[in-house]
Structure 1
Amino acid sequence: MAPFHGAEKVAPLVDMVQVRQRKRDIVESFRGGSEARLRKVDGLEVIEGDATFTSANSLSVKLAGGAELSLEANTFFINTGERPSRPDLAGLADVESGEYAARILDSTSIQELDHVPEKLIVLGGGYIGLEFGQLFQRLGSKVTIVQRGRWLAPREDAEFADEVRQICEGEGVEILTNAAAISIRADQSGPCPLVLTCAITGDSVTEVRVVGSHILLATGRTPNTDTLDLAKAGVEVDKRGHITVSPTLQTSAPHIYALGDCHGGPAFTHISYDDFRILKANFIDSREQQASTTDRMVPYVVYIDPQLGHIGLHEHEARAQSPDKTIQTATMPMSYVARALEMDETRGLMKAVVDAESEQILGFTCLGMEGGEIMSIVQVAMMGQLPYTRLQQAVFAHPTLAESLNNLWGFLK
């Protein structure tokens, strides 16, 4: 949230009931619209219930009223998604069974709050923890992010993790890294009854207690496969419960396919959409060459402010995968981008990873104003296998964020 010269900064007045209702309306517009379209498809029946495999070709579905329905088919598609994980944390079950159970939040329940938490502990410094942590700090909470690892957003290159930390701390978020959560308990006194005990590793191990009114468990997601009885269908899963699939999304049972988050890999909505594209191409379009996930690009955007958008390989991945190649990088701060300067939003940086010999772009990250949109321009160039020089020499309108892709390559080394 960049400062704006000439405008006075005032504390926000937040009506969480209205915020929650807007969220519900948006979700319903997508979910309700999709369901309505499904119910209008000729030959398609929508059945709501909990399904379990009873054999390789049959399901038992428990309906809402308690009745059970048996179904048989020659082909199955599993698309059950994931749910927030529960960490193995001493005392968590006790707190969840007591009067403060509603203060233990996940990425779903935190969006149903009707008030702003006074002091929010965020357990986990990945993308979900960062997005909600920054959001609630801005809404008026005092936020502490507790991250087990050395840095936030551990998938990213170190300079981006450092910059994200500086941005969050600059907005007042307290961040504890190398902090392993040991236990949680509820203290009956005061407005902030939750006490999280952590072991912080540095030159020595220090025990720290973090006090909060609420805690967000942002420690990953678990596939919704544990109740499907997949073994009866001959479907294999990995140690986390994700369904094992081939590049064409076929499971270990040849007539059963899995798409979306339940088969592991990148857990993004747009990847689920692309899984559908693969199955549609292979089952309906009947192309001669089967569509697959092989060489699929995986873009993503972390919706902190400013955004973090990424496509392709990170520098550490490129160097590890291609030790015989000459890998170059170009890194430029957003303060060198004219449009960012004009908008007074110069936080962040962008970085490209390049194969020096072929001049192909291997990866790109932008932490900055509309970082996801800038990333998407580079993604299109990568899809067309354009060398970075084509972007360097392109004519982009002035002043746009795209114009930064003329200047970035001057920092290549």
Structure 2
Amino acid sequence: MKYDAIIIGTGQAGPPLALSLAKKGKKVAIIEKNHLGGTCVNTGCTPTKTYIASARRVFVARNSEELGVGIEGKVKVNLKQIKRRKDDLIQESRDSWEKSFSEEPGISLIRGKAKFIDSKSIEVDGKIFSAETIYINVGARPRIPEGFENVPVLTNETMLELEEIPEHLIIVGGGYVGLEFAQMFRRFGSKVTILERGERLMKKEDEDISEAIAEILKKEDIHIRFKSECISAKPAGEGVEIQLECETGEPSIKGSHLLMATGRIPNTDELGLDAAEIKTDKKGYIQVNERLQTNMDHIFALGDCNGEGAFTHTSYNDFQIVDSHLQGTEKKYLSDRISCYAAYIDPSLARVGMNLEEIREKGLKANIAIKPMKEIARAKEMGETDGLLKIYTEEGTDKILGASFLGTRADEYIHAIIDVMYADAPYTVIKNAVHIHPTVSELIPTMLQNLKPVK
């Protein structure tokens, strides 16, 4: 039961690392207690974006009259069929990884729950596996706050197993996950209420971005209650009733289904990390250095469980960082990474680098360019003018500090900014570029010709 390396978890970092190690002639064990593929494949990117695609088709079918397209009869939503398509795509990805592992003689796929016995030994269902190097890639799971033990609570995982559309979906949390589900199920036909304890949605974004998102959702008849702290819940007939601490509105609300979208916690609590003397922070995230090493030099933590990123692309980049040091050439480090992500509401939000609050906290002198989507020809031609584009540059260096794009296809053209930032080039490079007309991204050079000081 001795291996050169053990990998715990098959999220986005684990499988490519296993294949890379095996191709170097290493004997590798990869352990998985559940389905292959981790969050992205099973309960994250693949299934939710499949649902969002269906919701988008519903929205377009019902909202095309301004473009001269009318549909006679009722637009029907078949959630069972949507779920079946989602399940097929998930299974295709699982099968692909299963095939990859089976075809590589250097990899042993071990099914079961892993627990450290000591810093070089792992127990799985009573069997002991040991290795000189261990990689932890166990991901994270939805957080369920106290006070909701006695009601059926849905998470981003269990929402995807429903086969009937909720009559009234109550969502606790105004972050990225909550808003994606709010919009998709509103488009499927549910009445939707969002309960947000803060004063605005997506609190990590600039205030004008948050306000624009709220207006987009309200136009689709999604009810949002701010400053509403959820205390507890109890059954109410076939549904649920939630008790609130709130400044306005009723102190309780009833619905047919309850989705908790209140953040995530790392899957590190049952790994037996103490036996391996691996250090975590107060939230349970495994502490790592620039190379993703833990305090134990031969143990690494990759993906969501290290608290250094919560996205598929950051998890895969964790693999790239570790693998670069195994390869010994063109070494990568955690500090090389520039924060970027997207929220797949419609229109999408895409973000890279710093926002206004972070710029002010660092005391940087910055300039800003803003362009409402309603002023962009391509957006007007498509009839999709909600949102705005924002870019921040640093005075003196001319480097791009960050950008927030809220608009149709923003998750694609944000990469024009990301690439310039990774090149460590001044904004003038893209300001002087010639982009294709008619596109949304053709306005990026134009925006950068009209920078103004941040007040």
Same-fold call, TM cutoff 0.5 = yes
AA aligned opposite 1:61 = V
Q: CA deviation at 1:11?
A: 5.2
Contact 1:199–1:207 (8 Å) recurs in 2: no
Q: Secondary structure at the match of 2:197?
A: coil
Q: Secondary structure at the match of 2:287?
A: coil
Q: CA deviation at 1:207?
A: 5.2
Rounded Cα–Cα distance in structure 2 between residues aligned with 1:30 and 1:365: 31
Partner of 1:65: none
AA aligned opposite 2:354 = L
* Equivalent in 83, 90, 93 of residue 149 of structure 2: 93
Q: CA deviation at 1:75?
A: 0.8
Is 1:334 matched up with 2:388?
A: no
Q: Counterparts in 2 of 1:358-369, with a 5 A limit?
A: 358-369=397-408
Partner of 2:224: 175
* Equivalent in 381, 388, 395 of residue 420 of structure 2: 381
Q: Counterparts in 2 of 1:254-333, with a 5 A limit?
A: 254-283=297-326, 285-287=327-329, 290-321=331-362, 323=363, 325-333=364-372
Partner of 1:209: 252
Contact 2:193–2:224 (8 Å) recurs in 1: yes
Q: CA deviation at 1:400?
A: 1.2
Rounded Cα–Cα distance in structure 1 between residues aligned with 2:156 and 2:370: 33
* Equivalent in 42, 51, 71 of residue 114 of structure 2: 51
Rounded Cα–Cα distance in structure 2 between residues aligned with 1:28 and 1:366: 33
Rounded Cα–Cα distance in structure 2 between residues aligned with 1:69 and 1:160: 52
Rounded Cα–Cα distance in structure 2 between residues aligned with 1:83 and 1:230: 18
Rounded Cα–Cα distance in structure 1 between residues aligned with 2:405 and 2:440: 11
Partner of 2:175: 126
Rounded Cα–Cα distance in structure 1 between residues aligned with 2:185 and 2:195: 15
Is 1:232 matched up with 2:295?
A: no
Rounded Cα–Cα distance in structure 2 between residues aligned with 1:345 and 1:411: 24
Q: CA deviation at 1:73?
A: 1.1
* Equivalent in 124, 134, 159 of residue 76 of structure 1: 134
For normalisation by structure 1, the TM-score amounts to 0.91
Deviations 1:361-388 (A, max 9, x none): 1101100010111111111111122322
Rounded Cα–Cα distance in structure 1 between residues aligned with 2:380 and 2:290: 44
Contact 1:12–1:139 (8 Å) recurs in 2: no
In the alignment, structure 1 segments of 5+ residues that lack a partner are 63-67, 96-100
Q: Secondary structure at the match of 2:442?
A: helix
Rounded Cα–Cα distance in structure 2 between residues aligned with 1:328 and 1:24: 47
Rounded Cα–Cα distance in structure 1 between residues aligned with 2:194 and 2:283: 25
Partner of 1:7: 69
Deviations 1:120-173 (A, max 9, x none): 000110000000000000000000001111110111010000000000011000
Matched residue count = 389
- Specify whether residues 354 and 11 from structure 1 end up closer, same or farther in structure 2 by C-alpha distance, changes over 3 A only: farther
Q: Secondary structure at the match of 1:105?
A: coil
Q: CA deviation at 1:391?
A: 1.9
AA aligned opposite 1:360 = K
AA aligned opposite 1:70 = I
Rounded Cα–Cα distance in structure 2 between residues aligned with 1:291 and 1:331: 34
Partner of 1:222: 265
* Equivalent in 194, 204, 219 of residue 145 of structure 1: 194
Contact 2:195–2:225 (8 Å) recurs in 1: yes
Q: CA deviation at 1:410?
A: 4.2
Q: Secondary structure at the match of 2:334?
A: coil
Q: CA deviation at 1:38?
A: 1.8
Rounded Cα–Cα distance in structure 1 between residues aligned with 2:156 and 2:135: 26
Q: Secondary structure at the match of 1:74?
A: strand
Contact 2:321–2:333 (8 Å) recurs in 1: yes
How large is the RMSD of aligned CA atoms in angstroms? 1.5
Deviations 1:172-228 (A, max 9, x none): 00001111001111122xx6x2111111136xxx65211110010101111111111
- Specify whether residues 377 and 244 from structure 1 end up closer, same or farther in structure 2 by C-alpha distance, changes over 3 A only: same
Deviations 1:273-326 (A, max 9, x none): 00001111112x122x642101311221100000000111112112212x1x32
Deviation larger for 267-276 or 379-388: 379-388
Q: Percent identity?
A: 36
Deviations 1:57-99 (A, max 9, x none): 111101xxxxx211111110000011111112x2x2122xxxx
AA aligned opposite 1:20 = K
Is 1:186 matched up with 2:221?
A: no
For normalisation by structure 2, the TM-score amounts to 0.83
Deviations 1:102-133 (A, max 9, x none): xx210011011101100000011000000000
AA aligned opposite 2:150 = D
Contact 2:236–2:254 (8 Å) recurs in 1: no
Is 1:116 matched up with 2:165?
A: yes
- Specify whether residues 170 and 411 from structure 1 end up closer, same or farther in structure 2 by C-alpha distance, changes over 3 A only: farther
Rounded Cα–Cα distance in structure 1 between residues aligned with 2:304 and 2:283: 12
Rounded Cα–Cα distance in structure 1 between residues aligned with 2:242 and 2:449: 48
Is 1:200 matched up with 2:256?
A: no
Partner of 1:98: none
